[in-house]
Amino acid sequence: MKKLLTLFLLATSMICFGQNRDFLKEVSGINFYGVDYSAAKVFGAAETPEEFRIAFAKINRLFITEAKKYDVSKKLKVKVNEISLNAVDKVNQDIDLSQLMTTSADYTLSEQDIKRVLEALPIQSQPGIGLVIIAKLLNKAEGYGSYQVVFFNTETKEIVEDWATGGKAKGFGLRNYWAGSIHKVINNL
């Protein structure tokens, strides 16, 4: 089972590096909305759902307080016009904590689920391209966070490009541990 999981994670990480970024050549800038945890599940963790909700807000703050370390613009080689965390802060605050934890390490989001999460994101309709990272499964047992990187039309919320990715969690404390997986995701952009 562990060999199968390791093979799956290796294949997933290889996919991350092969994503099509050609569409970004024609984009003058993007709006970055942070990490949306509204549909995420947590597996194998001892912390409470409330502790996770607090950590989610603190992780998103890192895009402001540690901007050099969590710089999506540098990795994408495209200008970030705006970092607007208000929308993800709202949906993350409204997470149903009774549904956050799972007993299944196989949890994932379908394409329809991703579209639903994007539709629920309360952003102002405006012309341009947006980027949001949608959290799927935070697997404490494996020390791995899985995510969906989604570029979308900010006027219509139509997905322009998206890909599955993830990262090994590392660090001391709940926020830093899962922020480590986000840092890896950004490095894979």
Burial of 146 (0-12, 13-18, 19+ CB in 10 A): buried
pLDDT at 20: 63
pLDDT at 23: 73
Q: Tens digits of per-residue pLDDT, 174-183?
A: 999 999 999 9
Terminal Cα-to-Cα distance of the chain (whole angstroms): 29
Low-confidence ranges of the chain (pLDDT < 50): 2-18
- Structure confidence at residue 3 (pLDDT): 44
Instruction: For 11, list phi and psi in degrees, rounded to 5.
Output: -65, -40
Q: Model pTM? A: 0.89
- Whether the CB-CB separation of 10 and 64 falls below 8 Å is answered with no
Per-residue CA distances from 174 to 6, 30, 142, 171, 183 (Å): 24, 29, 15, 8, 14
41: closest CA among 176, 139, 175, 168?
139
Q: Which CA distances in Å does 156 have to 55, 82, 83?
A: 30, 18, 19
pLDDT attached to residue 28: 87
Between CA 180 and CA 176 the distance in angstroms is 6
Using CA atoms, how far apart are residues 135 and 116, in angstroms rounded to an integer?
A: 13
Q: Which tokens belong to 121? A: 């994101």
pLDDT for res 12: 44
